[in-house]
Amino acid sequence: MGAKKPGSFERILFPTDFSKASVIAADYALSLARAGKARLYVLFVVDIRDYSTNFYGHPLPHIRLDREAREPAMAALKRFASERFKGYRNIELKVLGGRPYEEITKFVRGMKIDLVVMGASSRTGVARYLLGSNVDKVMRTANCSVMVVQNP
């Protein structure tokens, strides 16, 4: 088997949070996927820490939480993909539950992703320091190239 050409990608991961930065980054992911006829994985991670209690503060059972969070997330992901990746057929949509950067990194390793394309949020200062950045964490932990598209 021959060596892969530099800049040639077979498996591209585009994790999204549906933000403006993600919308901009989606165009880059699609362009790169089309150029290399790559498989494009579009991923949304439901941060289950945000959905762990009901209205009254009672913990939700994990199975119920998983189903209740993933079904609307997949519907939103399908809408997003139909708008942003219209006509591209070599695509797979996936919704996972967990901490976003951890699930993204696991997906990269498990699917042997060549490139991750992510939009960077505009969070700065104390908020970024306290909450961290999924982009920063993915860049440090992924075993592949990560393209970060900044929201202008």
The reply to whether the predicted model has a pTM over 0.85 is no
Q: Which pLDDT tens digit goes with each residue over 19-32? A: 899 999 999 999 99
What percent of the chain has pLDDT above 70?
75
Contact 115, 143 (CB under 8 A): no
Q: List Cα–Cα distances, 35 to 40, 74, 150, in angstroms.
A: 12, 27, 21
Beta strands in the chain (DSSP E): 11-15, 39-46, 91-97, 115-120, 145-150
The DSSP output letter for 96 is: E
Residue 105: other Cβ atoms inside 10 A: 21
> What was the pLDDT predicted at 104?
96
More confident residue, 134 or 132: 134
CA distance 12 to 26: 11
Is pLDDT of 88 > 90?
A: yes
Contact 85, 93 (CB under 8 A): no
Tell me, what's the pLDDT at 152?
66
Query: How far is 105 from 57, CA to CA, in rounded Å?
Result: 31
DSSP summary character for residue 49: G
Using an 8 Å Cβ cutoff, are 51 and 65 in contact? yes
Q: Which of 40-49, 60-69, 97-106, 115-124 has the lowest mean pLDDT?
A: 60-69
Confidence of residue 55 (pLDDT cuts 50, 70, 90): very low
pLDDT of residue 134: 86
Residues constituting the chain:
152
**Torsional class of 103: left (φ above 0), alpha (ψ -120 to 50), beta (otherwise):** alpha
Mean pLDDT across 125-140: 69
Whether residue 80 has pLDDT greater than 90: yes
pLDDT of residue 27: 96
Instruction: Please give the domain boundaries of the chain with CATH numbers for all domains.
Output: 11-150 (3.40.50.620)
